[in-house]
Amino acid sequence: SILKLAPEHIEMVERARKVGVPAKFAGSGGAIVGLCPDDATFQKLKVEMATIHCEVIRPQVIA
């Protein structure tokens, strides 16, 4: 409620949620954070986000 969100930033969250990824804004805009439950969902997310020219990255877990 402090400022109006850009429609393209809202769209990123909506598209992530559309494929089953809980997502929210990461900060001031231009990035979101989501949790992919498995590799198949991650691949769906990459395809969905590519349609709006967004890059999806997944950090490597080091055990």
Distance CA 31, CA 9 (A): 8
3-55: per-residue pLDDT in tens?
788 899 999 999 999 999 999 998 767 899 999 999 999 999 999 999 999 99
CA distances from 41 to 7, 15, 38, 58 (A): 24, 12, 6, 12
Residue type, 43: Q
Q: Return the pLDDT at 54.
A: 95
Distance CA 42, CA 19 (A): 9
Compute the 3-state secondary structure of the chain and give helix, strand, coil in percent, each to the nearest 5. Answer: 40, 10, 50
